A = this chain, B = another copy of it.
Amino acid sequence: MPILVMKFGGTSVADLDRIRNAAEKVRTEVDRGYDVIVIVSAMSGKTNELVGWVNETSPLFDAREYDAVVSSGENVTAGLMALTLQEMDVPARSWQGWQVPLLTTSAHSAARIEDIPRHNIDQKFAEGMKVAVVAGFQGLSPEGRITTLGRGGSDTTAVAFAAAFDAERCDIYTDVNGVYTTDPRITSKARKLDRIAFEEMLELASLGAKVLQTRSVELAMRFKVRLRVLSSFEDSTPNSGTLVCDEEEIMESKVVSGVAYSRDEAKITLVTVEDRPGIAAAIFGPLAEAGVNVDMIVQNISEKDYDDHPGAVTDMTFSCPYDQVARAEKAILDAKSRGQIEFSDLVVDKEVCKISVVGIGMRSHAGVAARMFAALKAENINIKVISTSEIKISVLIDRKYMELAVQALHDEFELEKSS
């Protein structure tokens, strides 16, 4: 039998009615001829409740105990899902991480999957079981303790199972019906994509399109697992949702697939920094230690000459999340007071956002950047920082122009039309 992996997130299993709804979708796939591995999250809210208890009990908690507590939410859903399927006469049983076993490293709360031996589940499929319901987000350490996989762990569990069992596809059921060319709340012209390449999905995920966690997409790309994102709350056909797949499966891709944004950014500029080898490390080392997520970094070459700073100087600009500005400023001023870096001024702009266009088609099409900048200029939007990768161009602009910029770029690249 071909194997299908289906993953249901917290909102898709929030109560018994929704679990029943999800189970109906599983039965549909069994009826289509699949042996199914279902990965479930905790009922929504449950994990937060458990995390809250742990934090209140022990602010600097033992991660092994955290994992033992927090993993229990998924176990409840797995058992209830198996029971619901049995009520529908679908042969099913639940598996906790240690029962599979899903073997991980010992890095509690952020463990990495090492191996998923197929034997136990394969044997049950051979005996007539049609659905293995697996508690997501959890595994077993070499020491025999329960681990959890960290943020996005259930998506990652699903992809890892799909890879281990050579699944035909890994369907991620969520509360949106696919990946869009941009946020539909910003422009009604936003269009659901039928297919998107792994690389594009990765850029979109890291840019704040919160449909899939980066880690699960990376894993899917590595093992060429075809991922489908679709809604738990709509009837699904074999073509529902968005398929995240290898570039080769996408016949004719557009130059740009989507426009992403990130609202709460800040821009920090260090003015007249000494331009010498090692200066970047001297600045970004302390920021990393302070836990600041530095995103874009731009170094403007300048050749100003000051009386007290003869020689080459430069301006260094970087962006980080809005709410990390205070921490970033402190790290930099501390480094300055320790004499590690020198600069004349620290300029903070908290009123910026990031807009990105993403597309694997960019690789073979010149001029995408020029079109993007022209479209923004036509709306009189000033670009503050530019950063590019092979399949992405990002700019920082004033936050107040965010919606306007997204709409303008969506129009410019004609994303409302299917390719």
Could you list which residues of chain A lie within 8 angstroms of chain B, going by C-beta atoms?
A: 16, 19, 50, 53-54, 56-58, 61-62, 64-66, 68-69, 72-73, 75-76, 78-80, 82-84, 86-87, 93-94, 96, 98-99, 144-146
**Residue from the list B56, B62, B76, B93 in contact with A50, Cβ < 8 A:** B76
**Residue from the list B53, B65, B84 in contact with A16, Cβ < 8 A:** B53
B80 pairs with A72, CB closer than 8 A? no
Beyond contacts A58-B86, A72-B73: 14 other A-B pairs, Cβ-Cβ < 8 A, are A16-B53, A16-B57, A50-B76, A57-B84, A61-B83, A62-B93, A65-B79, A65-B80, A65-B86, A65-B94, A68-B82, A68-B94, A69-B76, A69-B80
A83 pairs with B54, CB closer than 8 A? yes
Q: Which residues of B contact A98 (CB under 8 A)?
A: 98
Q: Which residues of B contact A80 (CB under 8 A)?
A: 53-54, 57, 65, 69
Name the 5 nearest CB pairs between A and B, nearest first. A69-B79, A68-B79, A58-B83, A72-B72, A65-B79
In the bound assembly, the distance between CA atoms of A125 and B172 in angstroms comes to 44
A93 pairs with B65, CB closer than 8 A? yes
Interface centre among A54, A68, A75 (most CB of B within 10 A): A68
Return A38 CB to nearest CB of chain B, in Å: 13
This chain: copies in complex: 2
**Residue from the list B16, B66, B69, B93 in contact with A64, Cβ < 8 A:** B93
Return A120 CB to nearest CB of chain B, in Å: 8
Q: Which residues of B contact A58 (CB under 8 A)?
A: 83-84, 86-87
Q: Which residues of B contact A93 (CB under 8 A)?
A: 62, 64-65
Q: Which residues of B contact A87 (CB under 8 A)?
A: 57-58
Return A171 CB to nearest CB of chain B, in Å: 23
Return A419 CB to nearest CB of chain B, in Å: 44
In the bound assembly, the distance between CA atoms of A69 and B73 in angstroms comes to 9
